[in-house]
Structure 1
């Protein structure tokens, strides 16, 4: 898949191609908002795996980055059989407790942005759900992927 307008909001994204299937469509005939949220989760996890941290690692470390706050800006609709591409970036980290992840979804045929999203993430101890300092490996794996942004 080739995005017609390949300019992303931020440089060097991690991307994943997505195809709109029948199960993604709601009663209004377009992709359901919850599907966009699911796609963000899928691409965010794939990016984490690419950076060297997966769910097994989280369990072994008794630590995980979880969503504390999420914002989704639904810009335009996607429809059945359309091809899309989701980009994600880590855009902030205090290297102790919090990180930020952003997303942008584009339609392949015309490069139109369909969604922008932002997550505020916090590190927790999986065994009790309470905030904890990030293990050093989080900063080693995630830190180099964090890009500077103006906002």
Structure 2
């Protein structure tokens, strides 16, 4: 699938979050600190889950959570205070039992440039014990229908 086919996004139909770096996000090098991108990914992941219909309250009720087992971020270009940005996220795979993968793409609105790509390997855990546990049917019915497969990064 070409970039043009999905308007510059790595995959079609991202869940998006509009963002603007503020003064407190800027580091000693004069650009948005990379740790802020990680925080934004967490915000986007939760917002996407909530938009799909699974909230933190649901996680607690079910005693299950999708925990980040591994996170990887490629920082491609800097962003600066006041720039309009948009962070897209997708669920891209699931084994239907324990694991899922989530991808991220941060773009600058002015020129569409991709500033960062990220990916999370997620594992379902029982909240009380912190141990891996099968995804409940409620997770599968919500998350698996939201998966957007693709070949892009």
> Normalising by structure 2, what TM-score?
0.94
User: How many residue pairs end up in the alignment?
Assistant: 147
Runs of 4+ displaced beyond 3 Å:
none
Q: Does 1:126 align with 2:115?
A: no
> In structure 2, how many angstroms separate the alpha carbons of the residues matched to 1:119 and 1:138?
17
> In structure 2, how many angstroms separate the alpha carbons of the residues matched to 1:132 and 1:17?
33
Partner of 1:75: 76
6-15 vs 30-39, which moves further: 6-15
> In structure 1, how many angstroms separate the alpha carbons of the residues matched to 2:141 and 2:103?
20
> In structure 2, how many angstroms separate the alpha carbons of the residues matched to 1:16 and 1:59?
25
Aligned counterparts, 1:1-151, within 5 A: 6-150=7-151
- How far residue 150 of structure 1 moved from its aligned partner, in angstroms, is 2.7
Q: CA RMSD in A?
A: 1.1
Tell me the secondary structure at the aligned position of residue 49 of structure 2.
helix
> In structure 2, how many angstroms separate the alpha carbons of the residues matched to 1:103 and 1:137?
24
Instruction: Give 5+ residue unaligned stretches, structure 1.
Output: none
> In structure 2, how many angstroms separate the alpha carbons of the residues matched to 1:89 and 1:108?
19
List per-residue Cα deviations over 1:16-36 (Å, max 9, x = no partner). Answer: 100110011001100001000
- How far residue 120 of structure 1 moved from its aligned partner, in angstroms, is 0.3
> In structure 2, how many angstroms separate the alpha carbons of the residues matched to 1:143 and 1:102?
15
